[in-house]
Amino acid sequence: MTLGSDVSRLTTTAASAAAKGLSIVVPVYNEAAGLAMLHERLIGLARTLMTRYGLATEVVYIDDGSADNTLAIARTLKPDNIDVQVVSLSRNFGKEAALMAGLDHARRGAVLFMDGDGQHPPDMVEKLVSHWIDDGYDVVYTAKAHRDNESATRRLAVHGFYALINWGARQKIPEDAGDFRLLSPRAATALRQLPERNRFFKGLSNWIGFRQIRVDYEPAPRAHGVTTFSPGRLIGLSIEGLTSFSVAPLRFASLLGVLLALTAFIFGLTILWEVWTTGKQVPGYPSLMIGLMTIGGVQLIMIGIVGEYIGKILSELKARPIYFVAEHTEKRADGEAAASERTAAE
């Protein structure tokens, strides 16, 4: 039985790249205000890629249960020099599930992921494609050039998150790396084959290996609205990432237990020393209560950490689908839109 996967046949060359094309996956959630403008910029990008590389392009919009008119606007987007797929999920499954849905529905060879809020500039896609086709990289990921416009607390939290997750991960995740990245055909194929349901996209796309390169960029201001990622939601996503990709929390719990045991041992030695040297008994109630409360608190923390991992195991064993598609339409730039839409409706 083979426990690995051979993707060596999917080599990256300029000729094969032009033949396979590029799929741009755009998860959207309540992005009605700027979706049409983003699509116009992607049409211009598609023309540029076709002229320079002969690269056919499609865009896959994943509507992750939007509550506004995002889906209605996505249905009206024209396939002008670019094929358009619109995949509507049955509810909001979260960004990781939306990214996976886009990867599953991408029909071209290479896959590029970008946000729908306009902060990932389409103009930069040409640079990512150049690293793939001209330089032969399989994973071209972007990262923020700096965080000078963020608070010291946020910068410290981000640095601490990456330090903690990389402490317990065999394959390190570059700090500040984002979801705005391009995968070559064989990298995309490798990522599709990973079976887990609790996915951390940044970690998995780095874990698959191959030739990777970092590209620093400056995110553009949001073209409209405000971000839906509140501090509480970011904390939740951080916990999901930690427990899905790293054993750092378990290591932290183990070290905390060792530290507590060592402290208790030293405290016991001090009590014995005082009794032996002075003959005086140390009053036991305060120290006993403090010790019990400390041990109890640490045990609850450890139980909570272990519980997070048990929850992940339960989720994997249930093997529920990562997402459900409620609607899928496709419009092709070659004029086969009507046939594609009828097929999707059936």
DSSP 16-65: HHHHH-EEEEEEESS-HHHHHHHHHHHHHHHHHHHHHH---EEEEEEE-S
Average pLDDT of the chain is 75
Contact criterion met (CB below 8 Å) for 153 and 205 = no
For residue 324, what are its two tokens?
């459900």
Residue count of the chain, please give it. Answer: 346
For residue 85, what are its two tokens?
């797929």
Where are the chain's structural domains? 14-230+324-345, 248-318
- Residue at 158: amino acid letter: V
Listed in order, strand segments (DSSP E) in the chain are 22-28, 57-63, 83-89, 110-113, 139-144, 177-183, 212-217, 325-331
- Model-level pTM? 0.71
Query: Residues of the chain whose pLDDT is less than 70?
Result: 1-19, 145-151, 154-155, 158-171, 219-248, 250-251, 268, 275, 279-291, 293, 312, 315-316, 334-346
For the domain spanning 14-230+324-345, the CATH number is 3.90.550.10
The pLDDT assigned to 279 comes to 64
